Amino acid sequence: MFEENVKIYVKSKLAIYKQIIETLYSPAYSTNPEAFLLKDLSNIKLYVVKLSPILGANYSDILYLIHDKDKNLELELIDLTEAKHYENYSKYNSVEAFALHKLIEKASIEKKNILDNHNISALSEELNHKTTAEFTTYINSEAWQKNFRQQMLALVSRDGRKFVEHVNHPTSYYAKDAAKKYTYSLLDLKAIIDRVNDEDFSYQMDQAIAAYENSLYLASCATLGVCLETLCKLLLKENGVKVKDSDGTMLDKLGERLREQKIISYKFKSRIDVCYKVRNLSSHTSPGKVLQGDCHFIIATINEIVDTYFK
């Protein structure tokens, strides 16, 4: 009952978050959806830190929303009700700081992936004892919805400001290990880089993601094309095919060689051909013509090739 009611609480709040974005922030979201990660419930995991009764009724449960791909509001409890967890409590300057530290420690999550948190202690009675139908009616009351709207307006505004701040950073701020620390990643780029394990590829991905982070999609798209070329050459070499500096290194030619050697499937050859056309477009057009989605397509192709052929 508790877990289902927590999910109802989250869905009710984030429904308002989504409504605000679609009404007030539609252009910003269509251009940069990574700024508003709370809009997509499928990539959120929930943690509830349950605290010791000795802290009082005002601090019994703290809810955290974590960016975690394909978790679909999966909920995990972190039980800190026993006295043994509080041996070093005095070194923290607040209950919230203590709970946050324990969450990161026990759940092995990164602080940057925490999207929001809520002290749900005041709802403890309702969360634990109301049926899902009763709690749904309760939380959808006019008073609660008004409260949620105020909170979500502030939250959407915060997310918008955070994205503007990261866009205003110089590219050099992001370029070092950019792909590995990429906050708004659609994919696990660190896992891709680690599996390929090539210095040139890692450097190129860092440059591509640094450009992407600064909304320089034309530059990012062109550099991602270079990343894919490097990946194709590495794949040829791994399969015993010699690649000379004098050989053609354009994506379409590399794709043809990979297919001729039966290293990749026809599907991947077709994907590489599309990436070749997208990459060429980024090199011969105005910035407005290159969409963020073009970068996503090349990143997704790189991910699929690495996942399929680099073990």
The tokens of 161 are what?
């400001």
Q: Quick: pLDDT tens for 198-228.
A: 888 888 888 888 888 777 777 888 888 889 8
Q: How far is CA 241 from CA 9, 232, 234, 252, 305, in A?
A: 57, 11, 10, 17, 17
CB 17 within 8 A of CB 131: no
Distance CA 34, CA 187 (A): 12
Distance CA 60, CA 99 (A): 11
CB 35 within 8 A of CB 162: yes
Distance CA 226, CA 243 (A): 16
How does DSSP assign 138-149, residue by residue?
A: HHTSHHHHHHHH
- Burial-class residue 118 by CB neighbours within 10 Å (0-12, 13-18, 19+): middle
pLDDT at position 46: 92
Model-level pTM? 0.56
Instruction: Say what percent of the chain tops pLDDT 70.
Output: 84
- Where would I find the H helices in the chain? 2-24, 26-31, 95-107, 124-129, 132-139, 142-168, 171-175, 189-196, 199-213, 217-238, 251-260, 266-283, 292-309
103 pLDDT higher than 80 = yes
Distance CA 120, CA 244 (A): 62
Contacts of 22 (CB under 8 A, 6+ apart): 29
Q: How far is CA 24 from CA 20, 37, 156, 206, 235, in A?
A: 6, 16, 10, 33, 46
Sheet holding 74-80, edge to edge: 74-80, 44-51, 61-67, 114-119
183 pLDDT higher than 50 = no
Work out the average pLDDT over 12-36: 80
Give the pLDDT band (50/70/90) at residue 172: very low
pLDDT at position 94: 86
Mean residue pLDDT across the chain: 80
CB 61 within 8 A of CB 124: yes
